[in-house]
């Protein structure tokens, strides 16, 4: 039997120990990366589900408002009354017309209802607004041209100074030609009453999660609602489009799905970005990476600690001077050693210490 001189380790034992240490290290790295990928996939699933839910809810809210506008066009008496009054305005609007509009305002919680002529001049406002809002102009032109309700962009209200969105309903019975329409009804929605709470709510507790609505505005990504960390940022916060690592910028530039980047605060975030159907808006559902991967980081520390501990234990067990394992490995089993009652006799006599022949 070959013996290493001077009680040195057998080469096969050194090779086996190195192989075990490498296997432990490789297994730890693999498990670490597998856990990281699993955490990322779980974050992707959660954020995607919330983003799709929010986008669908916003689209449904807009469809409901459009349906309300279409139903308003099916009130022939109101349409005829408003059309006649716009053609020959004589003092105040008829009481019957005002009553019907006020009932509509209370029932559907409109911030205001206006009647405008084809030039966009305000002829009637239930709240007394006289100044023309420039944000209504594109929607008014679309509604009068196509003969169907059209949304304005989100904009700051002239009197309240808070974000509003308006639905412009042409004064035309459904199915009639749109040419030469005298004006429209403008149904003004306060975004803070329903749209913003819908966007900003989150289905579970989270320290950092938020949903933001963004749109491209010239060379910027414009935030349409208040952000969680900057409460007064609606229609004010802008991010230049050259900030391509910002999820909001990724959204308005056409990216979809799960992304990771740096948000408007300079914080690393994980997000899902989606377009909102039938709108020029994009939705960003995001959380700080510190929160998203908090559970994984705890598991990663345990994995690394356990792997390092096993590798250190193996190393000390075999190589630590004076250890029983080292002594047993390096000590030859011969008859001169009393520790082996059944000594090596060159023919494979059984050794009680090792249990081999």
**Alpha carbons 70 and 197: distance in angstroms, whole number:** 25
The answer to whether position 66 is within a domain reads no
Task: Tell me: do 154 and 250 sit in the same domain.
Answer: no
With residues binned 3-state (H G I as helix, E B as strand, rest as coil), the percentages for the chain, rounded to 5, are 40, 20, 40
Q: H or E segment at 53?
A: helix 11-72
Domain residues for the domain of 210 are 36-60+196-294
In a domain, 147, yes or no: yes
Kind plus residue range of the DSSP H or E element containing 177: none
Distances (CA, A) of 276 to 33, 206, 273: 34, 23, 10
pLDDT at 351: 45
In a domain, 258, yes or no: yes
Inter-residue contact 214 to 223 (CB < 8 Å): yes
Are 188 and 80 found together in one domain?
A: yes
- Bridge partner list, 117: 183
> What average pLDDT does range 5-20 have in this prediction?
61
What pLDDT does 10 receive?
Answer: 62
Task: Give which of 257, 263, 267 is closest to 290, Cα–Cα.
Answer: 267
Write down the pLDDT at residue 279: 94
**Which band of pLDDT confidence, cut at 50, 70 and 90, is reported for residue 54?**
very high
Give the residue with greater pLDDT, 40 vs 234: 234
Does any domain span residue 343? yes
In this prediction, residue 258 carries a pLDDT of 96
Query: Would 354 be classed as within a structural domain?
Result: yes
Neighbours of 270 (CB within 10 A): 23
If one compares 289 and 172, the residue with the highest pLDDT of the two is: 289
| CATH number, residue 240 | 3.30.450
Rounded to a whole number of angstroms, the CA Rg of the chain reads 37
In a domain, 10, yes or no: yes
pLDDT of residue 281: 96
Decide if 67 is inside a domain.
no
Domain end marker among 256, 273, 294: 294
Is the confidence at residue 156, as pLDDT, over 60?
yes
252 and 204 part of one domain: yes
Q: Is residue 221 pLDDT above 50, yes or no?
A: yes
Angle between helices 11-72 and 294-319 (to 10 degrees): 180
Of the candidates 171, 140, 169, the one whose C-alpha atom is nearest the C-alpha of residue 76 is: 171
Across the chain, mean pLDDT equals 81
43 and 78, same domain (yes or no):
no
| Domain count within the chain | 4
> For residue 95, what pLDDT is reported?
81
Q: Of 329, 343, 339, nearest to 10 (Cα)? A: 329
User: Which pLDDT band, with edges at 50, 70 and 90, does 259 fall under?
Assistant: very high
- Structure tokens given for 299: 């598991």
In this predicted structure, which of 126-140, 248-262, 270-284 has the lowest mean pLDDT? 126-140
Closest Cα partner for 187 from 232, 132, 120, 136?
136
Question: Of 133, 121, 130, 115, which Cα lies nearest the Cα of 187?
Answer: 115
DSSP 2-44: ---GGGPPPHHHHHHHHHHHHHHHHHHHHHHHHHHHHHHHHHH
Predicted pLDDT of residue 306: 72
3-state secondary structure of 222: strand
Q: Is residue 103 located within the same domain as residue 166?
A: yes
- 157 in the same domain as 90: yes
Statement to judge: residues 12 and 87 lie in one domain? no
Return the percentage of the chain with pLDDT > 90, whole number.
48
Rounded alpha-carbon distances, angstroms, from residue 246 to 31, 194, 217: 31, 27, 16
33 — pLDDT class (breaks 50, 70, 90): confident
Based on the fold, state whether residues 91 and 155 are members of the same structural domain.
Answer: yes
List CB contacts of 258: < 8 A, sequence separation 6 or more: 43, 44, 47, 48, 270, 271, 272
Average pLDDT over residues 217-238: 93
Which candidate, 214, 188, 219, 162, places its Cα nearest to that of 55?
214
What CA–CA distance (Å, rounded) separates 304 from 333?
Answer: 39
Q: State whether 308 and 210 are in the same domain.
A: no
User: Quick one: pLDDT at residue 39?
Assistant: 81
Q: What's residue 48's pLDDT?
A: 96
End position of a domain, from candidates 169, 194, 219: 194
Distances, alpha carbon 125 to alpha carbons 110, 128, 129, in Å: 12, 5, 5
pLDDT of 174 reads: 58
CA 153 to chain centre: 23
User: Which candidate, 35, 24, 20, places its Cα nearest to that of 308?
Assistant: 24
- The structure tokens listed for 9 are 């380790």
Q: Alpha-carbon dihedral of residues 102, 107, 110, 116, nearest 10 degrees? A: -40
- Does any domain span residue 78? yes
pLDDT at 227 over 80: yes
Task: Assess whether 92 and 177 both reside in one domain.
Answer: yes
Final residue of a domain: which of 177, 194, 211? 194
* Predicted confidence (pLDDT) per residue in 267-311, tens digit: 999 999 999 999 999 999 999 998 888 766 666 666 667 767 766
> At which residue do the structure tokens 């047993």 appear?
328
- Mark whether 258 and 270 lie in a shared domain: yes
pLDDT at 170: 94
Q: What is the Cα–Cα distance from 171 to 81, expressed in whole angstroms?
A: 10
Can you give the pLDDT at residue 332? 54
- Does one domain contain both 88 and 139? yes
């Amino acid at each position: 039997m070959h013996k290493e001189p001077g009680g040195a380790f057998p080469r096969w034992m050194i090779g086996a120990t190195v192989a075990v240490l490498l296997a432990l290290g490789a297994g730890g790295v693999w498990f670490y990366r597998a856990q990281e990928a699993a955490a990322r996939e779980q974050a992707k699933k959660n954020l995607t589900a919330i983003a799709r839910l929010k986008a669908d809810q916003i689209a449904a809210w807009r469809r409901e408002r459009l349906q309300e506008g279409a139903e308003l066009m099916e009130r022939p008496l109101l349409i005829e009354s408003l059309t006649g009054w716009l053609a020959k305005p004589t003092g105040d609007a008829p009481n019957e017309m005002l009553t019907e509009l006020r009932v509509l305002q209370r029932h559907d919680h409109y911030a205001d209802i206006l009647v405008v002529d084809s030039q966009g001049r305000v002829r009637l406002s239930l709240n007394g607004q006289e100044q023309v809002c420039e944000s209504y102009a594109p929607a008014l032109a679309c509604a009068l041209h196509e003969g169907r309700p059209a949304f304005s962009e989100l904009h700051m209200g002239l009197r309240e100074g808070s974000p509003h969105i308006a639905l412009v309903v042409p004064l035309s019975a459904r199915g009639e030609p749109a040419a030469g329409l005298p004006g429209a009804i403008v149904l003004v929605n306060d975004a803070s009453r329903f749209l913003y709470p819908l966007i900003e709510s989150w289905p579970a507790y989270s320290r950092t999660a938020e949903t933001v609505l963004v749109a491209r505005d010239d060379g910027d990504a414009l935030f349409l609602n208040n952000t969680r960390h900057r409460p007064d940022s609606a229609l004010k916060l802008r991010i230049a489009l050259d900030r391509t690592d910002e999820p909001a910028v990724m959204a308005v530039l056409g990216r979809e799905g799960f992304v990771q980047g740096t948000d408007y605060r300079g914080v690393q975030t994980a997000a899902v970005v989606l377009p909102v159907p039938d709108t020029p808006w994009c939705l960003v559902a995001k959380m700080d990476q510190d929160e998203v991967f908090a559970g994984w980081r705890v598991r990663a520390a345990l994995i690394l600690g356990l792997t390092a501990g096993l590798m250190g234990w193996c190393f000390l067990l075999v190589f630590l001077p004076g250890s029983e394992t080292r002594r047993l490995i390096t000590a030859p089993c011969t008859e001169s050693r009393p520790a082996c009652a059944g000594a090596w006799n060159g023919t494979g006599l059984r050794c009680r210490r090792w249990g081999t022949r």
